[in-house]
Structure formats: structure tokens, C-alpha cells
Amino acid sequence: MDKDIQSILLTEEEIQTRVRQLGEVITKDYAGKNPIVIGVMKGVVLFYSDMIRQIKVPCEMEFMWISSYEGTDSTGNLVVRRDINTDITGRHVLILEDIFDTGNALQFTYDH
């Protein structure tokens, strides 16, 4: 895989530093609020595990899986393959996504 990498934009250390900083902000902003942190599967797993370790307030963990793929081709239509099992009405919700390009998946998740 390394031969396919043309350049490294951020080092592992830079990414981990930013994750720690985000964890500190979330910890401060959500103190006493018991947020629910929803990871959008499957690509978010590694980032989610790093991020959740840095959040130092009680929070609930959930996952959902959305997809626009059938096999290796995107249909362009997003569908929920696995939904969360928790009622989020009135809750503080943080959505963690792995890739943000057009914003369509995040908007779909938010609307859902």
C-alpha cells in the first residue's frame, strides 16, 4: 500500500494531537449533558475508537450503517442498512463520519 501513497498530508502524530484537542473541546462543551455519539459505519471504526477515548464525560455509544453501494458500484441513493436502537429525542447527538466529500451522507444521516 505504501507504494500507492504519493504524499502524506498529516502525520499520525498530527492527527492524534487534533483528536485529543477535539476530545478536550467535546468534554468541555458536553459536561453534564450525556451526549450520544453515533458512528456511521463502517469506515469510522478506527477514528471512533480514538475519539471516544478522548471524550472524558459520560456518553452513550451508538452505530448506524448507511450505504449507497450495491456491490462495488454506488447507486447514488443512500439507504439505512442498520439504524440506531436509542431514542435520541431531546438528546445532544454527535455524528462521527469517516469521509466527508459532498456532505450528502452526513445530511442524509442528520435528516434521518
Residues recognised as catalytic: 101
59 Cα distance to chain centroid: 14
Query: Which segments of 22-110 are extended strands (E)?
Result: 36-41, 60-70, 73-82, 93-96
Q: Which residues contact 25 (CB under 8 A, 6 or more apart)?
A: none
